[in-house]
Structure 1
Amino acid sequence: MKVLVADKFEQSGLDGLRALGCEVIYDPSLKEESLIEALRLHNPDILVVRSTKVTAPMLEAGDLSLVIRAGAGVNTIDVATASQRGIYVANCPGKNAIAVAELAFGLILSLDRRIPDNVQQLREGRWNKKEFSEARGLAGQTLGLIGVGNIGREMIPRARAFGMRVIAWSRSLTPETAEALQIGYRATPLDVASEADIVSVHVALTPETHHLCGRAFFEAMKPGAYFINTARAEVVDEEALLWAVREKGIRAGLDVFSTEPAAAEGAFDNPLVHLPNVYGTHHIGASTRQAQEAIAEEVVNIVRTYMQTGHVPNVVNLAKRTPARYLLVVRHLDRVGVLAHVFDCLREAQINVQETENIIFEGAEAAVARIQLDSEPSAEVLRAIRSNPNIFSAVVMPL
């Protein structure tokens, strides 16, 4: 298979892909029009990206069958167009969880001890111990987690090590799971906001989480509380956060911004970073060598599995439920033309196949085909299918 890697990628990952027998084209400078041209020129089977945006024209430029995001989120990929073109989209969830949790705590400590301001004044030749001797400290504070996925769960033991109490809300969190994690369950994000001294956001960007942290959320937060976002910028209403910093004294540590450049370097501006109570980093949550090595290993694993089995680990764009309403089960001899006969009968009846699998029994003499259909075959169609002498039985059942 031919693999185009269009972002910086660990050498171990490139070596692993080549060891699989892949032809690897590595060009981390590709962006926008140059990436479209590269896809047309090389026509790869697989595209690997980190932060590079994958747009509809890119997906339409060649014969891609798989796009791998060397990271967790896939909001930089036009998943809808990929799905329409039958292109798998996969990611590497959880591989950067420790790295992001570490940065989140770095931001928390920076806000509490005002570390960037300390450094700046030292570089300016100023000694100001009096001003910087008023940190609150973390022990005994309540950390509120918005999202308890892979990254959120990595926050829990780190908070515990600092002597913090943890409460959380997550779409999948139940009181029983919270008890097992030894954290406090809260029914809504607002419940977390109103009780926490420090809020840290760890949810994926979906239509449901867009601007999850809006004006009502920040109105619920305690005056002077800390707010950390290492997830996605669009999860937060930045206008509401601006209000909260100015009017409620909220202190914010942000790794993500709505105005981030598409490239790794470039001009940047955002009204939040001009406020003294806001510290920011350059969307580097996953950018540790440990995390990138783990992600590279997972990318190689995805490609290996795809090459060997046709299945894609961590695929994000398969239908959770198809329009299929009936299941046709055909037991048959494993002979040439048997399934073609079944599909011909279905085609003549104008019945669409949604999903199918054919399982071979030991000895490779017999098999069973499980075929999901959008409508019910008539008795006549079933008789036509059974007319093949290599078919033992054909039965249909509702799904």
Structure 2
Amino acid sequence: MKVLVADKFEKSGVEGLKSLGCDVTVNADVEGDALATLVGQLDPDILIVRGKKVKEPVFKAAGRLSMVIRAGAGYDTIDVAAASARGIFVTNCPGKNSIAVAELAWGLILACDRRIPDQVAELRAGKWNKKEYAKAAGLYGRTLGVIGLGQIGREIARRGRAFGMKIIAWSRSLTPERAALEDVGFCPTPLDVARQADVISISVAANEDTKTLVNKAFCDALKPGAFVINTSRGSVVDESALLEAIRAKGVRAGLDVFENEPAGGTADFASPIAQAPGVYGTHHVGASTDQAQEAIAAEAVRIVETFLRTGQVINCVNIAKSTPATSVLTVRMQNRPGVLAHVFYILGQAGINIEVMDNIVYDGARAACAHIQVDEAPAPELLTAIRANPSVLSVTVAGL
């Protein structure tokens, strides 16, 4: 099994892959179109990336590539549609960086409240300004609003309780019942969080539903002087709307991510919001702690090990949630070569496509049962043709 690691990756992860018998190539410096060229040259079975963009040309150049592992949680840097069109699994390592991201989120919250970076800058410039900085709202007893109550959001909320804050939350799947179990106040919409919270921390996945979630309406709903923290993705925030709230309402922002942030490790970056007073920014480093990267590397190795041993893909993000299947064909049969081929041939000749299938072998390996989801119910004469094979024990069809 050939594995290409095309990004920064812990040494423990590389050694773990080699211990599985993988032929590992590490090229953390490859950038842009060169990644597609490298994939075409090496023809790996598995590609591991951290922050690199994996675009359609990479998949077009691939031959044996069967899986892309995102060594992290978000996978918006990978063209999932292009991977799916070529039957390539995309998987990730969710939850392994949750504590690291939560820690940075709290660093940004504290920076907003106490303006710590501003104080450091003045001290480094040789200026003492206690008069300016000897005032802050403080956090105890105030309201923390968490938008996205996944693993990262829960870690942020947990630390909020330690600061004595009241916690409210909105999440796509959050119900009042689950909110009660999580000990958070339930908000039916993100706007409700914006209206009620003094500090808002955003930790949602980047997709079409969350694009510019923080928009003009959201910013209009913010309390004057509220703090907005974004450690998810830059696409979640309409930066022009947030910048206007910063200027007009005294809102402060702690941002680890930006709309048009550079893809590489170093670059010039002239961002109006990053340069604005009242904004405390970091360089998309939420997951960048040794602890988090070791945990992510171990998870990537576990994904590869499971794939090698069982063929199963842990944390796969591009398995279809629904298919065009309308019926399920159940075939009990003797566990012999050619029986399923007989069933498939008859269905194929009739133009019926198999969408999903599993095959269970019974104890003793003398018999098996296949559940075959198809896009069209087989006609009675097709069922008769399937039953004509002496190794077929029974055939039934049911609608889905």
Give TM-score, length-normalised by structure 1: 0.99
* Structure 2 stretches lacking a partner, 5+ long: none
Matched ranges for 1:1-399 at <5 A: 1-63=1-63, 64-399=65-400
1:163-212, Cα deviation, whole Å (9 max, x unpaired) = 11111111111111111111111111111101111111011111111111
2:35 corresponds to which letter in structure 1?
A: L
- Distance in 1, matches of 2:176 and 2:33, equals 49
Q: 1:259, 1:269 within 8 Å by CA — same for their partners in 2?
A: no
- Distance in 1, matches of 2:283 and 2:147, equals 21
- Distance in 1, matches of 2:171 and 2:92, equals 21
Q: 2:325, 2:374 within 8 Å by CA — same for their partners in 1?
A: yes
Report the secondary structure of 1:68's partner residue.
strand
- Distance in 1, matches of 2:70 and 2:382, equals 44
1:359 corresponds to which letter in structure 2?
A: I
- Distance in 2, matches of 1:182 and 1:337, equals 57
- Distance in 1, matches of 2:349 and 2:97, equals 50
1:246-284, Cα deviation, whole Å (9 max, x unpaired) = 111110000001121111111111100221111100000
- Distance in 1, matches of 2:319 and 2:42, equals 26
- Distance in 2, matches of 1:275 and 1:35, equals 35
- Distance in 1, matches of 2:14 and 2:58, equals 22
Deviation at 1:234, TM superposition (A): 0.5
- Distance in 2, matches of 1:28 and 1:239, equals 34
2:261 corresponds to which letter in structure 1?
A: E
* Structure 1 stretches lacking a partner, 5+ long: none
Deviation at 1:230, TM superposition (A): 0.4
Report the secondary structure of 1:322's partner residue.
coil
Residue identity (%): 58
Ranges of 4+ aligned residues in structure 1 off by more than 6 Å: none
Deviation at 1:223, TM superposition (A): 0.7
2:158 corresponds to which letter in structure 1?
A: P
- Distance in 1, matches of 2:233 and 2:19, equals 35
Deviation at 1:91, TM superposition (A): 0.6
- Distance in 2, matches of 1:354 and 1:181, equals 38
Q: 1:6, 1:47 within 8 Å by CA — same for their partners in 2?
A: yes
1:130-158, Cα deviation, whole Å (9 max, x unpaired) = 21110111111100111101100011110
1:201-249, Cα deviation, whole Å (9 max, x unpaired) = 0111111111111000010000111110001111111110111111111
- Distance in 2, matches of 1:292 and 1:351, equals 46
1:276-325, Cα deviation, whole Å (9 max, x unpaired) = 11110000000001100110011011111111111101000111011001
Q: 1:35, 1:58 within 8 Å by CA — same for their partners in 2?
A: yes
1:372 corresponds to which letter in structure 2?
A: Q
Q: 2:327, 2:398 within 8 Å by CA — same for their partners in 1?
A: yes
Deviation at 1:33, TM superposition (A): 2.0
1:203 corresponds to which letter in structure 2?
A: V
2:243 corresponds to which letter in structure 1?
A: L
Q: 2:67, 2:91 within 8 Å by CA — same for their partners in 1?
A: yes
Q: How many residues matched? A: 399
- Distance in 2, matches of 1:263 and 1:287, equals 15
1:358 corresponds to which letter in structure 2?
A: N
Q: 1:198, 1:225 within 8 Å by CA — same for their partners in 2?
A: yes
Deviation at 1:8, TM superposition (A): 0.3
